[in-house]
Chain A
C-alpha cells in the first residue's frame, strides 16, 4: 500500500504578480462604493442584489474579470477573480444581482456559445447590466435533473416551448435564463437535453415570485407560454445539455460563497464578545476560526486546481458539503453560546442576523446540489457503489 490514498489533492494558491495590490484595490473600492446596508443584508450577501453596486463593479472591471477583452472582459487571472470574490463576501457586499451571470451564464457562453452569442451578451454582463438565472428545476424535477420534461420542439428556424420552471433564483432581476430543456424524445434521460438562452423580457415568459419562509424573495416560478426561441439561442449542440451542465458544476461548488454565507454573523458575534471573552466564548471563537481557516484553504486549493485547467469534481463536492455544514452550524452555535439575554426579537445587529440565518440556513445545503447528492458523488469517487 505505497499508493497512500489521498482524497483531496492540495494545490498551492499562487496568484500571478499582477495580483499584487489587488486586495487593497478592491477593499478601497468597497469602502467607496458599497451602499449602506442593514446587518442582515451583509449575511448571505451573494443573494442580496443591488443594481447600482453591480454596475459600479462592472465599470471598475470586477465582473467578467477573466474573460477576453474583446467580449468586455479584463483578462485577469482566475485567482485574481477569487481574491475579489472573497473580499466582496467578507465585506458583506450586495453582489446577488450579477453573481450568477458572472459565475455561470458568462462562462457557459464563453465556453460553449457561438461568436455571436459572446459578442451580444458578454459585454453587457461584464458591465453589470445584464443579469442571469438558471432554469433547471421543474415541478417534478429537483435533484434528478435528467428528469427535465419541458420540451423544446423544432419550429421553423427555432424552437417552441411551453411549461414551467421553478425555484429559479434571481429570475425577477435577470434578463437572461440558461434553460435546460428536452430536445429528444419525451421520457428520455441525459442524452436528450439541450441548453438554451431565454430572453426573459419576451412577453411569452411570465415570472412569479415565490416568497421564502423568512419573507424573502429569491425564488421564482417561470412560465413559458408558447415561447419561441430562435435557433441561434441554443448553447452548444443539440443533445449536449447534460454534458455542459455537469462540466461547470465544479465552478459553482467550490467558491468562497460556499462557506461564507454566515461570515457576517461570526464577525458580529466577535464584536459583541469583545477583546477578552469568557472561556466558553473564547473556545467557540477558536473553533470557528479553525474551521473557517481550513475551509478557506480547501476552497483556495480547489480554485488553484480549476485555474490550472483541472476538473476537481471530488474536491469541489467536498468543499461545498463541508462549507455548507459549517455555515449551517454557525447560527446554532452562536445561539447556544450567546449571552443568556440575547433576545431574538430585539432590534439589534446580532439578534437580527441570527434570527435571519436560523431561518434561511436550511437552504444552504439545498442550493447548488443537495447534501445527499454531493455525498453520493463523493462516495462514487471513493470507489463505493
Chain B
C-alpha cells in the first residue's frame, strides 16, 4: 500500500465522519482535521510538515469536495505552504486565505479590509497578496468582522483592520489562481459525488414499472454528466501536476482547469436535480450540500469571464503560430 492510498483512506474516513456531523460547530469539526495534520500536507517533512506532493493535495481536496466538507481544508493547506515558502512562522489555529484585499500596507502595518474570506471569523491568520507581497493578518486584530455566507452556507467573511501589524514577505504568486486550483479539486470531487448519487437514485427509483435508470433518455443524460465529471477530474489533476512542476505558478493550467470546471457545473447540477426530481430539491435530502457548493464555487476565485479573459488574452497575445508549441512545451518533460 502506497503512502498516497494511506493518505486518501485516512482523508476519506475522516471527511466522511465529519460530513455526517456537518451542522456541528466549526471548532468541533476543524479540530480533528488539524490534529490529523492535513493543513501541513505540502509543508516539507524537515519543517515539521507531511511532505506531500501537489498530487496528494489533489487527492485530499477531491475527497473534501466529494463529501461536501464544510471546512477550509484547501485554504489551510495553501496558507501553510505559502508561509513555509516565505520563511514565515506557522500560527496556532486556522490559517486561511483572502480572495480580495483592499487597503494600504506601510511600514509592516495594514489598514483596509479583506473580503470573501473562507471562515475568516474563525481564523487565527489570514493571508493575502498585496502589491506583490504576501501579508499575514492576525484575525484577532480585526476592528470589525462582517459575517457572510455563500449560497452553500459556507462562511465568507469580511474583516476590517486599522493600522494592524502584519508579517510580510515578497510573493510573486497569484492568490486567485492558487485558490482556483484548490476549488478545481473540490469541484471534481463534488461532481463525482453528485454523479454517484444520481446513478444510485436512478437505479433505485421506480416509475412506469421499472427503475428510471432503465430509460435511455436518462442514461444518455447521465452519460453526458459523467463525461463532464471526467473532464473536470482530468483537468484538475493536470493543473495540480503543473503546480508541482512550476512550484505553484501554473497560471495557464489553472486558468484552463477552473474554466473547464466552471463549464461542467451547469450540466452536472442540472442533470443531478433532474434525475432526482422533487426529493433532490428538499432540505433534508443530501444532494444540495453538493450542488449548492458547486454553484458557489463557480464564482469563487474567478468565474468564467475572469479566466476566459486571462487565458484568451494570453493565448491571443502569443498568437496562432505559437499556440501548439506553447501548449506542448508546458506539458513536455
Contacts and interface: CB of A to CB of B under 8 A. Distances in A.
A384 interface: yes
A2 interface: yes
A82 to B, nearest CB: 12
B312 A6 contact: no
A9 to B, nearest CB: 9
B255 A290 contact: yes
Contacts of A273: 316
Interface stretch (B82-90, B129-137, B142-150, B192-200): B192-200
A104 B55 CA distance: 35
A contacts with B: majority SS = helix
A384 B203 contact: yes
B32 interface: no
B152 interface: no
B71 to A, nearest CB: 17
Contacts of B241: 12
B317 A275 contact: yes
Interface stretch (A197-205, A215-223, A232-240, A371-379): A371-379
B contacts with A: majority SS = helix
A27 to B, nearest CB: 9
A318 B317 CA distance: 32
A359 interface: no
Interface stretch (B21-29, B39-47, B319-327): B319-327
B220 interface: yes
A29 interface: no
A296 B315 CA distance: 16
A2 B12 contact: yes
Residue of B229, B260, B263, B307 with most chain A CB atoms under a 10 A cut-off: B260
Nearest to B332: A23
Contacts of A274: 316
Interface residues of A, number: 59
Contacts of A213: none
Interface residues of B, number: 64
Contact of A385 (B13, B214, B320): B214
A21 to B, nearest CB: 11
Contacts of B310: 286
A292 B328 CA distance: 12
Interface string B290-333: 00000000000000110111111101110111011001100111
Given A287-B312, A289-B256, A8 B219 contact: no
B233 A283 contact: no
Interface string B93-112: 00000000000000000000
A300 B234 CA distance: 10
A275 B328 CA distance: 20
Contact of B260 (A4, A20, A267, A291): A291
A322 interface: yes
B243 to A, nearest CB: 14
B220 A372 contact: yes
B312 A283 contact: yes
Interface string A276-301: 11010111111101111111111011
Contacts of B238: 10, 294, 297
Contacts of A375: 219-220, 223-224
Ranked nearest first, the 4 interchain pairs of A and B with the lowest CB-CB distance are A286-B312, A286-B308, A8-B230, A379-B219
Interface of A: 1-2, 4-8, 10, 12-15, 20, 23, 86, 90, 267-268, 270-271, 273-277, 279, 281-287, 289-298, 300-301, 315, 318, 321-322, 372, 374-376, 378-379, 382-385
